Amino acid sequence: MRKLLFESLIRPPLTERPPRVSDAAVDELARALNGVAHRRLGRSLSIRAVDAGSCNGCELEMHALNNAFYDIERFGIRFVASPRHADVLLVTGPVTKNMRDALKRTYDATPNPKWVVALGDCALNGGCFAGSYAVVGGVSEALPVDLHIPGCPPPPIEILKGLLALLEGVNSRAAIARA
Amino acid sequence: MPALTDLILAAEGVDNHLPWPRAVVTSKEWSFAVEQLAEGHWSLLGLWGEPGTVHMALLDEAVWDIGVVSLLCPDGRYPSVGLLHPPALRLERAVADLFGLLPQGAPDTRRWLDHGHWGVSFPLSARVQTAAAAAPPYQFLPVEGESLHQIPVGPVHAGIIEPGHFRFTASGETVVRLEEGLGYTHKGMEGLMAGSDIDHAAKLAGRTSGDSTVAYALAFCRAVEAALGIEVPARAVWLRALMAELERLANHLGDIGAICNDAAFALMHAHCGVLRERVLRASDAAFGHRLMRDRVVPGGVAIDLNDEGTTAIRSLIAEIRQRFPALVELYDNTASLQDRTVATGRLRVELARQYRAGGYVGRASGRDFDARRSLAYPPYDALNFNVPLLQEGDVNARVWIRIHEVEQSLSLVEQILRQLPGGPIRVDFARTGGPHEGMALVEGFRGDILAWLRIGKSGLIERCHLRDPSWFQWPLLEAAIEGNIVADFPLCNKSFNCSYSGHDL
Ligand code: SF4
């Protein structure tokens, strides 16, 4: 173990520069965040991931956000264990009918102000699974969605861009509210 | 003891079912097959339904024979397999939910995938019914005894994992029973497959379980190619194996780290996470997608490997070879970690055999089966590799199997790069003239995946069934956790790493 720890002292960090936030995502967000009180958020964002019937591909890329390359916590973004600690629900999957209640209950357990981010193509409108007797067809069929991050699955860098957009939107609004 | 072939030969064979035979049997022959299963002579590869018919795929390990037996059940009933052979129980419950076919004499007739929310009953049967407004609440098995308490967990979990329900009954800290409730991610995959064209169905197949997208696409495509008699170009065959091994590497590296993380050993997690990310990036550089989704397609592969991709994979292999041994040493020499993994979550050899546990779950409990070697589909028949085997069946053994498989995969990737033939990567094929039926068994990182399908005259998929290895591993997790403490459940669970989405379909 000593060898590994020592090596990591002399190796350059793997962490990459934060991505530029895409303008389209910011726009979508600004529209979504109409006049809610964001002041309480500050420079932090707690996320509760909810798998509402995904194939698990989206979750794999969410996991990758915690690895040394993306190191999401440096942006003040972290995944939390309970919806009660969360600002954002990051929801994946076409929302199966078997998960709809659990998703709603998770949403209800999340304190205000809260945002819902739909992650992946399935979460937009059911993707490949649209039309099945077993799926609701997109997160917005079950909850109000503030931001959608496309991809199947979206690579970590795209998820990060979306979340940064959310954060920046939240903060610029908060600044306006303070002024 | 009669061979599987004898049973199939004696029964009414079905034309155009490739590469293994299928036969329609009488209920007496069906029951005979069930006896063979129960006595351990044959093993169950899968059990699935169709309106009015139930199918069972069997493996005779003595001679490596595979066959499918089908029983017509015009009155919607068939003799239960699960009655004598418990590994079939959940499959039967799924068939009952989807097709309304009832196993006679089955000891467990509770619903499984159908939680009463679909708005329909028996969605894939010929007589779909509007479901009763309120389904009765699910009954967990009764547990009686002094000072027992229950802990319900899920379907929404504390981590970033798939949804499922766990009902623990504990005596103090010790788990006396775990019962799983699954089906939360049921997306109606087989319903979507029916009637879709082959290319679209291949896309769906690749989305059965996100971490096994290559393996599922491969199983589906091999079944299509078997059915239609398509000869896939050699280069495509080798590229498919290259992708499959990269997928295995990424998953095993991720799992090794995640298991250690569940024992609060974050250093391993961090280092394994870096290596996993490297694999995904190399896969992206080589095949244009981090998980290589939609890259294995009917008739070949969707993208060719160029020099840049080859270089990316070569340097990936060099990096893992350089860094991985230190991590293995770290795992092996950290007493506090071993304290958590050794003798934890032990799965008995006999149970692994009875349930024909695939992948690292089976191989850590003495079950010497790997579809890449046992069925030797190309190009594995031309490659050198070992199938690691351990008997202990604990969390530690499942970690070690993964470690050895990482080493094997590294060597396989190198061999593939060295021997990769040139030429085209995809063939066009005729999609009509059916019906044709095909089947494939492919080794995913988690174990063997079965794909069975029928292509109709029009070239559309009439029926497709995909069986995840997790069907036979989930019940074993319930057995392995018994007598362990609740706090060790995450370790046991992660070391099994069963798929929810693949199982729920
Ligand atoms: S968007 Fe793609 S990766 Fe995400 S859950 Fe859907 S199929 Fe899986």
**Residues 6 or more apart in contact with residue B136 via CB below 8 angstroms:** none
Does the beta-carbon distance from B210 to A58 stay under 8 Å? yes
CA dihedral B451, B454, B455, B457 (to 10 degrees): 170
CA of B499 to the centre of ligand 1 (A): 15
B160 closest CB neighbour out of A79, A83, A93:
A79
pLDDT value at position B61? Answer: 84
Average confidence score pLDDT of chain A = 83
Contact A29, A165 (CB under 8 A): yes
Instruction: Tell me which of B12 and B352 has the higher pLDDT.
Output: B352
Residue found under tokens 């990769």:
B420
Ligand 1 pocket, residue A55 CB under 6 Å: yes
This complex has an ipTM of 0.93
Q: Indicate the pLDDT class of residue B439, thresholds 50, 70 and 90.
A: very high
pLDDT of residue A170: 63
Whole-angstrom distance, CA of residue B351 vs CA of residue A14: 44
pLDDT at B256: 96
Higher pLDDT, B195 or B136: B195
Mean pLDDT of A120-149: 95
Percent pLDDT > 70 in chain B is 99
- Among A10-14, B122-126, B224-228, B440-444, whose mean pLDDT is lowest? A10-14
Residue B119 contacts A, CB cutoff 8 Å: yes
Q: Which atom of ligand 1 is nearest to the CA of A120?
A: 1
Mean pLDDT computed over B155-167: 92
B189-504, what's its fold? Cytochrome-c3 Hydrogenase; chain B (1.10.645)
For β-strands B65-72 and B77-79, DSSP reports them as unpaired
DSSP H helices, B288-380, are: 307-333, 335-341, 349-354, 359-363, 371-374
Spell out the domain ranges in chain B: 4-130, 189-504
* Cα dihedral B414, B416, B417, B423 in deg (nearest 10): 180
Least reliable range by pLDDT among A38-42, B139-143, B378-382, B482-486 = A38-42
CA separation for the pair A119, A102 (Å, rounded): 17
* A57 touches ligand 1 (CB under 6 Å): yes
Higher confidence at residue B89 or residue B8?
Answer: B89
Q: pLDDT by residue (tens digit) across B379-400?
A: 999 999 999 999 999 999 999 9
A96 lines ligand 1 (CB under 6 A): no
Residue A102 in contact with ligand 1 by CB distance below 6 A: no
Q: For residue B187, which residues of chain A lie inside 8 Å, CB to CB?
A: 53, 94, 96, 129, 132, 134-135
Cβ of B137 under 8 Å from any chain A Cβ? Answer: no
In the predicted structure, residue A154 carries a pLDDT above the cut 90: yes
d(CA A30, CA A33): 5
Q: What's the pLDDT score for residue A35?
A: 36
pLDDT at residue A155 greater than cutoff 80: yes
pLDDT score recorded for residue A178 = 47
Q: Is B54 exposed, middle or buried (0-12, 13-18, 19+ CB in 10 A)?
A: buried
Determine contact, residues B123/B98, Cβ cutoff 8 Å: yes
For A83, the token pair is: 């919806």
Give the H or E element holding residue B9.
helix B4-10
Please give, one letter per residue, the 3-state secondary structure of A100-115: HHHHHHHHHCCCCCCE
Are the C-beta atoms of residues B396 and B347 closer than 8 Å to each other?
Answer: no
Contacts of A31 (CB under 8 A, 6+ apart): none
Q: Is A89 in the pocket of ligand 1 (CB under 6 A)?
A: no
Q: Is the pLDDT of residue A174 over 70?
A: no
Highest mean pLDDT among A68-77, B309-318, B423-432: B309-318
From residue A126, alpha-carbon distances to A53, A152, B118, B280, B366 in Å are 10, 12, 15, 26, 41
Residues in chain A: 179
Residue B459, ligand 1, Cβ within 6 A:
no
Give the separation between CA A174 and CA B70, rounded to whole angstroms: 65
The closest of B250, B248, B252, B228 to B240, measured between CA atoms, is: B248
**Mean pLDDT value across residues B196-215:** 96
Average of per-residue pLDDT across A99-107: 96
Flag whether pLDDT at B155 surpasses 70: yes
Q: Return the structure tokens found at B287.
A: 């095949």
What are the two backbone dihedrals, phi and then psi, of residue A101, each rounded to the nearest 5 degrees? -60, -45
- The whole-angstrom separation of Cα A13 and Cα B416 is 33
Arithmetic mean of pLDDT, B454-473: 95
* B118 touching A (Cβ < 8 Å): yes
Mean pLDDT value across residues A140-155: 95
Q: Which of A18-27, A65-74, B61-70, B230-239 has the lowest mean pLDDT?
A: A18-27
| Closest CA relative to residue B502, chosen from B22, B94, B42, B20 | B94
Q: Is A166 helix (H, G, I), strand (E, B) or coil?
A: helix
Question: How many angstroms separate the CA atoms of B407 and B489, rounded?
Answer: 28
Q: Is the pLDDT of residue A80 over 70?
A: yes
B239 contacts B279 by C-beta, under 8 angstroms: no
Question: In chain B, positions 141-200, which contact chain A (CB-CB < 8 Å)?
Answer: 155-156, 158-163, 183-189, 191-192
- What local confidence, expressed as pLDDT, does residue B2 receive? 67
* Rounded Cα gap, residues B164 and B185, in angstroms: 8
Per residue in B206-226, pLDDT tens?
999 999 999 999 999 999 999
Q: Residues B47-59: pLDDT tens digits?
A: 999 999 999 999 9
pLDDT in tens, B256-283: 999 999 999 999 999 999 999 999 999 9
- Does residue B69 contact residue B25 with C-beta atoms inside 8 Å? yes
Q: Which residue has the higher pLDDT, B207 or A17?
A: B207
Structural domain boundaries of chain A? 22-178
- Residue from A58, A129, A135 whose mutation best tests the ligand 1 pocket (most atoms within 8 A of CB): A58
Residue B120 touches chain A, beta carbons under 8 Å: yes
What is chain B's length?
A: 505
Q: How many CA atoms lie within 13 A of B71 on its CB side?
A: 25
Torsion of CA B406, B407, B410, B416, to 10 degrees: -110
What would the CATH number be for the domain defined by A22-178?
3.40.50.12280
| Highest-pLDDT range among A20-34, B218-232, B420-434 | B218-232
Residue A176 has pLDDT above 60, yes or no: no
Write down the CATH number for the domain with range B4-130: 3.30.460.80
> Whole-angstrom distance between the N-terminal and C-terminal Cα of chain B?
36
Cβ pairs A/B, distance under 8 A: 145
Q: What angle do CA B117, B122, B124 make, to 5 degrees?
A: 115
Q: pLDDT category, A23, cuts 50, 70, 90?
A: low
CA dihedral sign of residues B83, B84, B90, B96: negative
pLDDT score, position A91: 97
* Residue A29 to chain B, least CA–CA distance (Å): 24
Residue B217 CA, ligand 1 centroid: distance in Å: 15
Q: What sections of A34-155 are H helices per DSSP?
A: 57-64, 97-108, 121-125
Q: Chain B residues with CB inside 8 Å of A133's CB?
A: 118-120, 123, 188, 191
Strand, coil or helix: A148: strand
**pLDDT band of B128, cuts 50, 70, 90:** confident
| Tokens standing for residue B172 | 């103090």
CB neighbourhood size of A10 (10 A): 6
Q: Does B273 reach chain A within 8 Å, measured CB to CB?
A: yes
Q: Confidence band (pLDDT; 50, 70, 90) for A41?
A: low
Half-sphere exposure of B182 (CA within 13 A, CB side): 24
Q: What pLDDT, on the 0 to 100 scale, is given for residue B1?
A: 57
User: Sign of torsion, CA B204 B205 B208 B213?
Assistant: negative
